Structure 1
Amino acid sequence: MSMVNIALSGLNANRVAMNVTAQNVANVNTPGYSRQQALTAAVHGGVSNAQSPGMGVEVTSIRRVTDQFVVKQTWSTNTMSSYAEKFTTNMSLLENTLGADGFSLSAGLDSLFASLHDATTKPESIPLRQQIINESEALSRRFNTLNESLYNQHKDMSDQRTAAVAHGNSLIENIAEVNKKIVEMQGTGGNPAQLMDTRDALVGELSKVMEVRTTEQADGSIQVALASGQPLVMGGDFGQLKATPDPTDPYLADMHIEFAKQTFAIADSVGGQLGSINDYQTEVLKPYQTAIDDMARSLADEFNAVLATGTDLNGNPGAPLFTYDPANPAASLDITNLKAAELAFSSDGTPGNSDVLKDLIDISSKPVAITGFGSLSLNDAFTAMVGETAIKARQAEADYQAKNSMSEQAIAARNNLSAVNSDEEAANLMTFANAHNANMKVISTANQLFDSVIQLF
């Protein structure tokens, strides 16, 4: 009966191998699926029987074809690509905002100073004076709307952070839950391959939200932590990411991890989408808001200071043209209720005198201190901001293209190793089917031999 038993073991082993192949073929289009292989080993014969060739074959395990180093490369490049994608999207939006006609401070400044130039032909003209007031108000509105647009983008970044934190926490919890199932299945001798694929996919999604590091454990679970070391998942236990509003700005946030009743501060950027949101807010958006506030403040202060040196058409001392809230200059910039005749263009009260008006015109080229851009004229400051934004936007796009290419290459490397190849599986299926049929032939031959022996009696 040894011949039959050996052949039966071959039948069973090749049947398992065909089942594994069928599973692979069924999942040829399943994203993230790792193909499997049935690993076999010869069953040795009895130690007391030197004539035994062995006892057949057995399936020792079903191997999940993967390389964790390659998988981790996909997670790492995921993080960089997601960061770059979010950053270039935001920079593109900012570039479009600053370049829009309705938000252009340069166009507003040009119109205002053009109206001042027009007034030099007849400084006492009420229509020409009124045009100056109109252009001043229009410029104020440009500051207001530009500030509002940047404020809305700042708020939108906060909303995106909230959504990303919620998504990240959901993924963290799911990874811990899958960890538990993998440990349980391995403990009972099951095959956790599909669960491991699911966990890899969850970690891959988490790596888009933030940069993570993983460590494999002997029980089949993994530990997940931020790149800076704060724990996220340990076996079936998990932490939660928290974003606490900054006391000085409710749309900025201090990040920390709550894990096992402990709180771990996050001092550095977490990478991925969350890191991109934070870096864009703190390194681009907030500094630009500050610079625009400086422009609004300087415009109002310079105009009001020059007008204070003059006398209006009624012989009264010069009054301010602009007003603003020092706490938020660009958002609150407005004109006073000054009338056209009350613009103090003359230092001595003579209606045709325009010496103060010329001082106002000189403001167009007067250097003022703008945070982040140095000392330069208002028009040059905004032009520099637009130019810097365009450069950063192009750099961000180039960085995204490079990082995205790296991510695609890492995914391709993973797929080359782990994804199902239909041609390869077809060949395997034919091989295992032939082996299965050969073992059937062995059993048939053994039966024929047995029948022949029986007929001898």
Structure 2
Amino acid sequence: MSIINNALSGSLAAQLALDATSQNIANVKTVGYTRQGALLAALGPRGNLHSAGSGVEVSSLMRFSDSYKIHQMWRAASDLGQRSVTQPYLTQLEQVMGDDESSISSGLDTFFSALNAASLEPSSTPLRQQIITAANTMAQRFNTLNDVMRNQRTAIRQQMDAVVPQINLLTKDIAALNEKIASMQATGGNASALIDARDQRIDTLSGLVGVEVVDQADGSRNVSLRSGQPLVIGRTVSTLSLQSNPDGSKTLNVAFANETFTVAGGNLGGQLGGLDDFQRNTLVPLQQSIADIAKEVSATVNAQLAAGFAADGSAGVPLFVFDASSATGMLKVSGSVQAKDLAFSADGTAGDSGNLQKLIGLKDQSIAVSSIGTVLLGDANTQLLGKLGMDSKQNQSLLATAETVRSQAKENWAATSGVNADEEAINLMEFQKMYQANMKVIAVANELFDSTLAMMA
């Protein structure tokens, strides 16, 4: 009887719908799980022109997924990774450069204050010695800051070296999942769990490096860098590597099939892009600028001392030694200089302070600093700190924006793909009623069949 077949198809459809609902409820707290639902379709009459129809079927199990929303979430993850990874470095530099106990500005002020104090009594040995002590303290501040930046460069290289293997592992997983998903969908299987696993890996990958994702007809997803170099094409995966350059920087290479691509820095995105951008555009220029100031201090002070005479009338000797490549400190006080060697006299006369006055005036002399141009010696560090503060503030603002966009993207994704416990509870009751109603129809059909048999007996 068609009534029984219809009811049987309805009860089976209700069971499948309940199965999908139970799966959703079981995964209500599972991160990255995409809810599913049974898509019901009415079956038309089969042969009998007067039949209302042949019941119902579950035409497919549907994943409630919005491609635009998930791609938006991945782009937000890339921006968040890029901004969050650099902020600790910027904050550390701000603290070191702005701290009175370690800042170059404070060291310069102390050095020139010692020169001013000596101008009251140029022949005083303690005051002369105080200048050497202040010069040594200032040099140590240059060296300390340079060491901080050198350590940051080392940390960035190590962090980049750690990120690349993670990327390679994720791309291998994505390629393997592509193969499984394509195979399962080709046979009509439900690949939802595999797709969720792949999307989770792409989400993690996008936090490490900016990616572009393109869906394919067989269910696979192709993944590439923002600049176009392929990472995953179907089942084929690339291998990323970092090449060390003589200047300490890193060049990213992508080996795909039989080709190797060099990736230009500047638009990588994610943590890898953030580290590369910070090192290239902030840290290296800042380190060079600090070296510029140290070099100018050494050159100008030594040149002015060379133009004067010591207390015994001898020619002035250098106070500083500058060596940017030194591992023990790029700026040092000459080990041989003594208090009596400081050339304060302009004409060789004992007690004259003409050259000392010129030394004091060096603070207002213009110097060339690579990242900020021509500035006064006394203002150079302050302007560098101001520029660094602006970079840090801008990054903090972009970080806050990235966090907001990422949060909103996740909420938008969850509104479509996430499990709503209240909605699933309603579905549970509705499909339960559907099942019970169809079972009631079967019971009624059995009664009618029994009645028909009784009439024919």
> Same fold by TM (over 0.5)?
yes
Corresponding residue of 1:332: 330
Cα deviation 1:369-411 (Å, max 9, x = unaligned): 1112122222201000111111221111111111211111111
Aligned equivalents of 1:261, 1:239: Cα separation in 2: 10
Which letter does structure 2 place at the counterpart of 1:319?
V
Aligned equivalents of 1:92, 1:359: Cα separation in 2: 37
Corresponding residue of 2:235: 236
Corresponding residue of 1:83: 82
Corresponding residue of 2:127: 128
Corresponding residue of 1:318: 316
Which letter does structure 1 place at the counterpart of 2:225?
L
Aligned equivalents of 1:326, 1:17: Cα separation in 2: 72
**Preserved contact between residue 181 and residue 195 of structure 2 (Cα < 8 Å):** yes
The CA deviation at 1:100 is 2.2
Aligned equivalents of 1:318, 1:329: Cα separation in 2: 28
Which letter does structure 1 place at the counterpart of 2:28?
V
**Preserved contact between residue 325 and residue 332 of structure 1 (Cα < 8 Å):** yes
The CA deviation at 1:240 is 1.4
Which letter does structure 2 place at the counterpart of 1:135?
A
Aligned equivalents of 1:373, 1:331: Cα separation in 2: 24
Aligned equivalents of 1:255, 1:384: Cα separation in 2: 33
Aligned equivalents of 1:368, 1:392: Cα separation in 2: 23
Aligned equivalents of 1:393, 1:99: Cα separation in 2: 13
Cα deviation 1:346-373 (Å, max 9, x = unaligned): 1232221111111111111111111121
Residue 223 (1) aligns with residue 222 (2) = yes
SS at match of 2:441: helix
Aligned equivalents of 1:39, 1:306: Cα separation in 2: 87
The CA deviation at 1:81 is 1.8
Which letter does structure 2 place at the counterpart of 1:17?
A
**Preserved contact between residue 365 and residue 377 of structure 1 (Cα < 8 Å):** yes
SS at match of 1:223: strand
SS at match of 1:113: helix
5 Å matches for 1:4-403? 4-47=4-47, 49-247=48-246, 249-250=247-248, 252-268=249-265, 269-325=267-323, 327=325, 331-336=329-334, 337-403=336-402
Cα deviation 1:114-161 (Å, max 9, x = unaligned): 111111111111111100011111111111111000110111111111
Aligned equivalents of 2:405, 2:36: Cα separation in 1: 27
**Preserved contact between residue 297 and residue 329 of structure 1 (Cα < 8 Å):** no
**Preserved contact between residue 87 and residue 276 of structure 1 (Cα < 8 Å):** yes
Aligned equivalents of 2:270, 2:378: Cα separation in 1: 36
Aligned equivalents of 1:215, 1:398: Cα separation in 2: 31
Aligned equivalents of 2:25, 2:371: Cα separation in 1: 59
Residue 440 (1) aligns with residue 439 (2) = yes
Q: Could you state the TM-score of these two structures normalised by the residue count of structure 1?
A: 0.97
Which letter does structure 1 place at the counterpart of 2:306?
A
Which letter does structure 2 place at the counterpart of 1:277?
L
Aligned equivalents of 2:275, 2:100: Cα separation in 1: 27
Aligned equivalents of 1:330, 1:384: Cα separation in 2: 27
**Preserved contact between residue 312 and residue 350 of structure 2 (Cα < 8 Å):** no
Aligned equivalents of 2:255, 2:96: Cα separation in 1: 38
Aligned equivalents of 1:376, 1:50: Cα separation in 2: 95
> How much identity, in percent, do the aligned residues show?
40
Cα deviation 1:201-249 (Å, max 9, x = unaligned): 11111111111111111111111111111110011110011111122x2
Aligned equivalents of 1:335, 1:329: Cα separation in 2: 15
Further displaced range: 275-284 or 261-270: 261-270
Aligned equivalents of 1:165, 1:414: Cα separation in 2: 28
**Preserved contact between residue 37 and residue 61 of structure 2 (Cα < 8 Å):** yes
The CA deviation at 1:329 is 10
Corresponding residue of 1:407: 406
**Preserved contact between residue 296 and residue 330 of structure 1 (Cα < 8 Å):** no
SS at match of 2:337: coil
SS at match of 1:71: helix
The CA deviation at 1:330 is 9.8
**Preserved contact between residue 240 and residue 258 of structure 1 (Cα < 8 Å):** yes
**Preserved contact between residue 325 and residue 333 of structure 1 (Cα < 8 Å):** yes
Q: Could you state the TM-score of these two structures normalised by the residue count of structure 2?
A: 0.97
SS at match of 1:102: coil
5 Å matches for 1:410-429? 410-429=409-428
The CA deviation at 1:326 is 5.0
The CA deviation at 1:302 is 0.7
SS at match of 1:382: helix
Structure 2, gaps ≥5 residues long = none
The CA deviation at 1:335 is 0.9
**Preserved contact between residue 311 and residue 351 of structure 2 (Cα < 8 Å):** no
